[in-house]
């Protein structure tokens, strides 16, 4: 077939016949469509045929109430079986026998579930909840960790769940750091045993006061509250305040 060239030729390229056939075949071959990535949004519903979602239930026991709180967080798996598979929180429920907290618990869980289904970064919820302080004062959890309010306790549970499903990086200490803290802890306990009777009596009183707030003697009785992890685990070692729980030190 003869083709008439009406424009001025300004450039040219010589192609081998075999290469030209390969290029033509590649152009004619249909391009395979990539799988559509499903992202979290407010219109996303439960998968068809699945009336249940995977989740976990956490128990919160506080010294402020005789009845425990049971926090259930259900997750949805997006893009299952693909390289983009991701587990996201879908809804949250809180149950308790104490009806005094019924109104704000229902409001809190509905708002949190709506934020989960909205999509995007939901990790900020745990930070915001843990920053809520009770004007009547907080309490100590077993192990000496201070919790400023029940809402903050719920935020800590949410943070733990987000770490379990991979939305937050776990802040665990390395084996070497754990060995150093265990050594420092043994030194602090040995030093307390060498203290005089008067100081021992004071330490015992402090320990009983903590036990009355729901704390366990898992750290030296003379330990103070850490500003970073809110755990009563700060001790004076080598002239520097060091936390035996998270490794924080005022001396760097």
- pLDDT tens per residue, range 174-201: 667 667 667 777 777 777 777 654 443 3
Q: Tell me which H or E stretch contains 197.
A: helix 197-211
In a 3-state reduction of DSSP, which class is residue 135?
coil
* Model pLDDT, residue 152: 94
pLDDT in tens, 1-17: 677 878 888 777 776 66
- Please report the beta strands in 153-246, taking only residues with DSSP state E, as ranges in sequence order: 224-225, 232-237, 240-243
Output the pLDDT for position 125: 95
Q: Rounded distance, CA 117 to CA 171, Å? A: 26
Query: Which among 115, 69, 114, 74 has a CA at the least distance from the CA of 94?
Result: 69
pLDDT value at residue 115: 93
Mean pLDDT of successive 10-residue stretches along the chain, which has 252 residues: 78 68 67 65 69 88 89 90 87 90 92 91 93 89 84 94 89 68 72 57 36 50 77 78 77 68
- pTM for this one? 0.62
Residue 235 DSSP SS3:
strand
CA 23 to chain centre: 51
Instruction: Indicate the domain borders of the chain.
Output: 54-164, 175-243
């Amino acid at each position: 077939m003869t083709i008439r060239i009406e424009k001025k030729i300004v450039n040219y390229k010589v192609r081998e016949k075999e290469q030209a056939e390969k290029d033509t075949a590649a152009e004619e071959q249909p391009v395979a469509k990539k799988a559509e990535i499903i992202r979290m949004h407010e219109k996303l519903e439960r998968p068809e045929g699945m009336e249940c979602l995977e989740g976990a239930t956490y128990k919160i026991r506080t010294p402020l109430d005789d009845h425990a709180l049971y926090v259930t967080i259900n997750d949805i798996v997006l893009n299952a079986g693909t390289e983009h598979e991701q587990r996201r929180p879908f809804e949250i429920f809180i149950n308790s026998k104490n009806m005094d907290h019924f109104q704000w618990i229902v409001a809190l869980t509905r708002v949190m579930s709506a934020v989960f289904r909205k999509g995007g970064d939901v990790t900020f919820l745990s930070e915001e909840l843990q920053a809520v302080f009770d004007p009547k004062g907080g309490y100590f959890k077993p192990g000496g960790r201070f919790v400023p309010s029940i809402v903050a306790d719920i935020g800590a549970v949410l943070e733990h769940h987000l770490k379990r499903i991979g939305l937050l990086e776990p802040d665990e200490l390395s084996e070497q750091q754990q060995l150093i803290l265990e050594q420092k802890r043994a030194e602090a306990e040995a030093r307390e045993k060498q203290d005089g009777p008067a100081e021992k009596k004071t330490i015992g009183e402090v320990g009983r006061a903590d036990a009355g707030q729901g704390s366990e003697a898992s750290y030296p009785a003379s330990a103070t509250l850490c500003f970073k992890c809110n755990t009563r685990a700060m001790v004076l070692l080598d002239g520097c305040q060091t936390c035996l729980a998270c490794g924080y030190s005022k001396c760097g």
